[in-house]
Amino acid sequence: MRLLNFMSRNSGPRVSIVILNWNGRDVIGKTLVSVHNQEYPLWEVVVVDNGSTDGSPAVISRDFPHVTVILNEMNVGFAAGINVGIRHALKRGADSVLLLNSDARLAPTATGSMVSAMLADPQRGVIVPKIYVQSEDFPRRIWAAGAEWRRCPPRVTMRGYNELERGQYNRGETVAFATGCALLVRRDTFKTAGLMDESYFMYQEDYAFCDQVRKNGRVLWYEPEAVVRHLVSHSAGEGSARKWRHWARGIVLFYVQHYRARWRAAMALLAFIPWVVMRETVKAKQGWFIPFFHGLAQGWDDVRRMGA
Amino acid at 38: Q
Length of the chain: 308
* Angle in degrees, CA 259, 197, 248, rounded to 5: 60
Tell me the residue ranges of DSSP E strands in 110-146: 124-133, 142-144
* Model pLDDT, residue 233: 57
At residue 247, the pLDDT reads 96
| Domain assignments of the chain as residue spans, ordered by start | 15-230, 241-306
Ranges assigned E (strand) in 14-113: 15-21, 44-50, 68-72, 96-101, 104-106
Q: How far is CA 274 from CA 147, 199, 280, 281, 284, in A?
A: 22, 26, 10, 10, 15
Share of the chain above pLDDT 90, in %: 88
Using one digit for the tens of pLDDT, what is the confidence trace for 145-192? 999 999 999 999 999 999 999 999 999 999 999 999 999 999 999 999
Cis-peptide into 153, omega within 30 deg: yes
- Tens digits of per-residue pLDDT, 18-36? 999 999 999 999 999 999 9
- Binned at pLDDT 50, 70 and 90, residue 235 comes out as low
Average pLDDT value over all residues in the chain? 93
Which residues does 155 contact at the CB level (< 8 Å), separation at least 6?
149, 272, 275
- On the 0-12 / 13-18 / 19+ scale of CB atoms within 10 A, 140 is exposed
pTM: 0.92
Q: Domain 15-230 falls in which CATH fold? A: Spore Coat Polysaccharide Biosynthesis Protein SpsA; Chain A (3.90.550)
Measured over all CA atoms, what is the biggest interatomic distance in the chain, rounded to whole angstroms? 55
Give 12 or 250, the one with higher predicted confidence: 250
pLDDT at 1: 27
* Band of residue 6 on the pLDDT scale cut at 50, 70, 90: very low
Determine the pLDDT at residue 130. Answer: 98
Mapping DSSP to helix (H, G, I), strand (E, B) and coil, where does residue 123 land? Answer: coil
Residues of 80-108 as b/e, b for ≥16 C-beta within 10 angstroms? bbbbbbbbbbbeeebbbbbbbbbbbbbbe
**Per-residue model confidence (pLDDT) at position 23:** 95
Say if residue 237's pLDDT is above 60.
no
Contact at 8 Å (CB) between 42 and 17? yes
